[in-house]
């Protein structure tokens, strides 16, 4: 999977994409906390092993790249349910210089077009911890609509308490209507 838009690219990660920046993101509690993941230190070899675990059919690990700067700036996880023609997306921008960067919006639109038009997806969704304000803003910017609150959906990696999650979704029909505007 690969697409380019406005100097940015999103594409399937390969073991050769394992880099010090990615390792630093995984080790950063400020980045991992909103994802409810523990910060952890990995080696390049362990990161490469992690990357090859994705089948790139139903489970995708995608890199978000600034092609002009020639660097990885974020990660997208995509799980596809082919039976229900739905996809669940999770993403984070690891490079803080790109937080809130609206130049990424055309790439997000191209990604949605790819999923809906070429992959046959009929619904895109994400689940976001209620205190992950950056991802909530990103979901809304991408046109995903709030669908509900899952009370105590997951356990905190930090203290074991229950964490609420918002569910956001976008139907292909809503996306197509929005794209026409």
Cβ partners under 8 Å of residue 18, min gap 6:
44, 47, 48, 51
Q: Which domains does the chain have, with CATH numbers?
A: 2-180 (3.40.630.30)
| Unique residue bearing structure tokens 């999770």 | 90
How much is the pTM? Answer: 0.87
The pLDDT score that the predictor gives to residue 15 is: 95
Angle at 151 (CA atoms; ends 144, 58), nearest 5 degrees? 50
Angle between helices 105-113 and 172-180 in degrees, nearest 10: 130
Q: Return the DSSP state at 176.
A: H
- The terminus-to-terminus CA distance of the chain in angstroms comes to 27
**Average of per-residue pLDDT values in the chain:** 91
pLDDT average, residue stretch 57-64: 93
Distance between CA atoms of residues 56 and 128, nearest Å: 23
Most confident range (mean pLDDT) of 1-5, 8-12, 55-59, 82-86 is: 82-86
Return the exposure string of 110-121: e unless at least 16 CB atoms fall within 10 Å of the residue's CB, then b.
bbbeebbeeeeb
Q: What's the pLDDT band for 130 if we cut at 50, 70, 90?
A: very high
pLDDT average, residue stretch 103-109: 84
């Amino acid at each position: 999977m690969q697409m380019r838009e406005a100097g940015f690219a999103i594409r399937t990660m390969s073991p050769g994409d394992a880099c010090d920046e990615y390792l630093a993101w995984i080790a950063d509690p400020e980045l991992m906390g909103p994802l409810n993941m523990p910060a952890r230190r990995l080696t390049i070899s362990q990161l490469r092993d992690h990357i090859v675990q994705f089948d790139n059919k139903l489970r995708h690990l995608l890199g978000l790249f600034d092609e002009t700067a020639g660097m990885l700036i974020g990660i997208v996880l995509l799980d596809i349910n082919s039976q229900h023609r739905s996809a669940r997306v999770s993403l984070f921008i690891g490079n803080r210089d790109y937080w809130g960067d609206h130049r990424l919006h055309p790439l997000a639109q191209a990604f949605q077009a790819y999923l809906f038009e070429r992959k046959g997806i009929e619904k895109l969704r994400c689940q976001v911890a209620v205190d992950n304000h950056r991802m909530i803003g990103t979901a809304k910017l991408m046109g995903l609509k709030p669908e509900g609150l899952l009370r105590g959906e997951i356990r905190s990696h930090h203290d074991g308490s229950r964490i609420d999650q918002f569910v956001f979704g976008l139907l292909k029909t809503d996306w197509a209507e929005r794209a026409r505007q």
